[in-house]
Structure 1
Amino acid sequence: MKLFTALSALAGVGLVHGQGNMIPRPASSNKFDSKPSIQRDEIKNLTFYTVGFHPKAPVLRFESTLVIPAVTPDASTDNDVQALWPGLQTDTLLQNVITTAGGGPHEWYLLPFYCCKPAGALTSPIRIYPGDLLTNTYIWDMPNNKWLDTWALTPAPREAEQARRPSTASGVVPKPYDNPILAIELQGLGTWDFGRVQWRNILMEANTTDTDWCTKVTTDNPMKLILTPPVVRTHGSVTTCYISQITFDSPTDKKSSRRSVGI
């Protein structure tokens, strides 16, 4: 596996217009579940712990701030992958991945990514640390028919914030996404051994007047979940959903099952 070079904590901005060619069902036939519909048959022991939202309409904006969790005690860099990401999905997946893969033991890296066929990084990996705050914003720029993916990293108090650096990825313009997801992804021998994962200031805008999607949170794989009550508003043809905090506290078992949490 290629070793990533450690970089200083940065805030970045990436303009994304990419299109993948993926096998999963199209958005129009998506069922009400949150498991990322990505076919990865070559990956062993692929497990997701997710919270997903299903407005069944184009998402115009998706924001969240992730508190980078404690480092994993697992020192392996060859036989496991541990990753966290906020993402947008239809039959492709746009995700800002925080992962242990590719670096040294006990290290986290930010890797904005486009998935899956073709798949590729949208910028060079960025070294990040426990306690850092990573704010991710996806915006559908309708007039210009492209996605704007931005990430802003606020280092923990031990470090001063570094300069911003722009990054651009180009390709075929994607269609609108309709499924915002917050996820823990484990591959191979990877386990959830890094403690709580906390997401703050989750904000979603969708081109629909329906509000149920904001208050029905769908999870994949049982876990202890802590949420603050959603606040939902509709103005014209756009519904805005805000949740101040979602905490992935801990897994409750290793079985692959789905359940819905009504709020």
Structure 2
Amino acid sequence: MKVLIVDDELNIREGLKKMITAFCPYVSEIGDTYGVQSGLEAIKKEQPDLVLLDVELEDGTGMDLLSSLDVIDFQLVFITAHNKYAIDAFKFSAIEFLLKPIDTDNLMHALDKAKKQIGNENLAEQLQILKQSLNAIRANDKKIVLKDINSIYFVKVSDIVRCESDGQYTQFHLSDSQKILISKSLKEYEKLLEPYGFIRPHHSHLINRHKIVRFDKTNGGTLLMETNCRIPVSHRKRAHILQVLDNQQ
């Protein structure tokens, strides 16, 4: 089995190579590199069976690297020093991970399991679930700055229930029923908030999909939000919204 280590800490790479050499005799080759671009080049050149991939790299993230690949035809184990919530995201997606500082027994267990999973056709779906979970974690911590005529607001993204278009203005509706009117178009905020789980079911509405309570399919379709407001779903967006909600289950 060919293994590639992608981590921006030299001591981690060297330590992993020593442990793998000592305790994993079925590993025939071990390569290593430090970043997104060098990792992409190494994957293309070495065609590893398994990649040990750090979450945070010198020139981006492990997810950036994976997103740049057309096909992921290797098994994957993440390396992370992240907090409990990120670890829960890995567990939820059932993707193997190693927590720094790396324990020998944990490494052996992860590699042995990965060896058995080579050729796993569910990895792409698992990565999608992981990405959604990590985005949700970032949304819980992320704040957005909103400025109106009189004030500057620092709002947690997870507190935004929905945004409504009002001409060239956007009305923000928050979990505590507060409303903030901002002199920017809804389209600008759609691009900004989409990575954090926001979807646009109608040309006048951008909503936080994590705040949806129910989808009523009658009369074209409406979404009931946590604040008891109802958001229409346009005919053109209906299929996409149904797909998003199905994937959220």
Question: Do both share a fold (TM > 0.5)?
Answer: no
Structure whose alpha-carbon radius of gyration is higher? 2
Instruction: Normalising by structure 1, report the TM-score.
Output: 0.24
Instruction: Normalising by structure 2, report the TM-score.
Output: 0.25
Quick one: higher RCO (CA 8 Å, sep 6+), 1 or 2?
A: 1
Q: Which has the higher strand share?
A: 1
